[in-house]
Structure 1
């Protein structure tokens, strides 16, 4: 049961990170950024969301151990 929860949570975090990255890229493009610049902003935002999720997971894991 816990493996399923971990997999579903991982999938949810990845989907949210992809959506936030796409939104950041779209907003950058609407702000007249070039395509490479918008892609860079989207990738940076995606990486930041993944890093934030990892930090929160590490913080919660220390509470339960």
Structure 2
């Protein structure tokens, strides 16, 4: 004869197997500062790349317009500083609004 088999399944069938693992699980709260730091680092890198591209474009346009190399470099530096300042202003405004 076969052993009796229950046809009823409990509401949470895996709970009895994983009950002893609950106290040993590590909290994930310690990962949040690292994720925030990574987001800040990647955003900063993206802003710098966009500012450098805008500066290169401004320098190239100034040079195509007939400006000398020092004048084109001045235009590029001004554009780079303007983009960085704009991003800092938008960040400060959003921080004030979202806090």
Q: What TM-score results when the alignment is normalised by the length of structure 1?
A: 0.98
- Give the structure 2 partner of residue 2 of structure 1: 36
Deviation at 1:64, TM superposition (A): 1.8
Tell me the distance in 2 between the aligned counterparts of 1:41 and 1:22. 9
Deviation at 1:63, TM superposition (A): 1.2
Q: What TM-score results when the alignment is normalised by the length of structure 2?
A: 0.65
Give runs of ≥4 in structure 1 deviating > 6 Å.
none
Q: Aligned ranges for residues 1-65 of structure 1 at < 5 Å?
A: 1-65=35-99
Highest CA radius of gyration, 1 or 2? 2
For each residue in 1:1-47, what CA deviation from the matched residue of structure 2 results, as whole angstroms up to 9, or x when unmatched?
11100000000000000000000000000000000000000000000
Residue 41 of structure 2 aligns to a residue whose secondary structure is helix
- Please tell me the root mean square deviation across aligned C-alpha atoms, in Å: 0.5
Which one has a larger percent helix, Structure 1 or Structure 2? 1
